[in-house]
Structure 1
Amino acid sequence: MKTKESQTAKEQEIEVAGVDYSAASKDPNATWLSLGTLSKDSKGLPTLGLGHIENTGSIKIAASLLKNKPISVGFDFPFSTPKIFQAYLAQNSSPNTSQTSAQQAIQAPAKEKTQSQRYIHQISFEHLVDIADLFRTESKRLGRKEPLRLTDSLVSPKAASPLHLINPGMLKMTWQGSALLQEMQDNGYLIAPFDTGSSHCPNQKVVYETYPSAILKALKLPYQKYKGKDSQARELRAEIVEGLTKLHTVKRLNWLGLKLVIKPSLRTVALDDDNALDSLIAATGAAITSLYPERVSPHILLTSPEHRHLFEEALAEGWIYVPYPLIDKL
């Protein structure tokens, strides 16, 4: 027979997930999923119990998430692009758009209505790449640097622009990921910060953009050089995992008090693969966002009359949910 206390504790549990997302064409690619349960221990201390880490690949990630139905999900990929590119894209959505109108859009982005990034996957990727290439060429001609979203410039370390050229490209992750976000929304998830609604209702499922390196730095843990197969990288991953399990003992993080519990077999998975570790960190970020939304959401911009105007920009461009006082960086 369940006691009233055990029933209450069960009701306070929420399932969280973290995803390190890849847009590589290999199947399965290096998309990893971590699942855990956020609850409180006998002393009332928030506790995240990691129960599952798996290399699902991007093709199966939506099915895995919808099967497990976590309440809070952290995705490690940029959900959207800078507002200047949104305006450019809106004016160049037709393959027949002239270069003249493209130049006009980039030179006067503030006057253009930015379009939602939710449906960017409905543009062919080839056409999107062509638009991005034209944008880069025109930006270079005008002497403009690669643009960042507001949130990219506020996090520490700074996040790369979704337009940044790497292999596979960041833009491909945003393009491919937008279809994933659409599927999540179609199945009852809010996509933060774009969707309106009560994201703090107990049973409301929400997807957040996260950034493992920024989470690690905010938690006073190594956030560089932990990726790779060399011994130094593995040693740093071991230090990170150990540090995550002791967050509740760090006095400099007395606002947090989060205890991470991870069984030995899953520790080994995280030590062996940096992508697996990033998914674990993303799950930790999802837990922190659920516990302390006031520390990570764009609503912190509203606490200062001087910076209220940035709130709408954040809603248009997207937001990286990481645990630090963003207002100090404005």
Structure 2
Amino acid sequence: MLSTREEIKSALEAYCSEIAANNRRGLETLIPIIANWVPKEGSEFDDVPEDEVPRFRLESLCHLVGHWGIIGRLSDPTELLTRWDELAPLVELDGVIRLRAPGQDSEMNIDGRTYPLEVLADQEYRELKFNEYVTVVEAALRERVLEEARDTVAFPEELRILFELGVDGLCGPGLIEWQGQGCGCHFWIGLGREGVEDVAARVQGPDTEMRRWGVTIRGCFTQAPWPDQGPGEWVIAGGWGIGTGHDAQTCCAVFCRRPDEEEFAWRYVISCEYDQVVFNTIPDLFEYYKDFEQGAFDQRVEDYADEGSLFPPERF
């Protein structure tokens, strides 16, 4: 059963609040180390001029959070914390991907270096890109899902509601740099991050391998943790690899039904080599996803809480 707009809005707010709080807690440990860094004599940085130290600090922060668009907005790394409500959504530290405005790629020039200036897209541009995205997904679905589902398959209504609530994708908990290192996943890559052909290639029938992953939509269900959610208990029409994760992790939206159900419906799956979890609604997904792999994130904060990890010489 579809969730109401109010249920999705409430679940989204709880999801964003918890992720932002956890990310802030981690950054409250790491940012003071970055902000107080000075080159040590005899280190690889001992020839860094004093007037360039602030830039090195800001670059370290931008590497950590995975967004260079804030470097021209800050004079000191601690401003990310003191201006949290303003900057956390821009840097996607609340678990929500937000579409950027076009034509803002190289606007900031600091100390002779050019950095991107990230500006959030306006509603007109968001709607343009969303409609393009939906058109591509729906066309591919109607071409590739089981024939019995082609008359009813459509873009998931709950994702449409998320878009109306200001969501262009979901990146989940954790810092962007770490998500590619075995800590977290992007459940919904969303708008503007891939070309049309790449989006279409993610959409498949039940038994065609999705490009890059080498796994089928049906394969997302093959090791579900509960016996009644195994592949034999579902009629799977198809779906698409909606997101991305690390190692053998996949994130899928699956159009399916149980044998005793008359209508197909969207379910959402986070799966890895050893485990799969299936969600009937977006609020169900948020309840699980908001602290997904939080233990790995906490360990990464502990591992990075030193200057050597935050200022590796090969990065600068």
TM-score where L is the length of structure 1: 0.29
Question: 1 or 2 for the larger relative contact order (CA 8 Å, sep ≥6)?
Answer: 1
Larger helix proportion of the pair: 1
The structure whose Rg is larger is 2
So what's the TM-score if we normalise by structure 2? 0.30
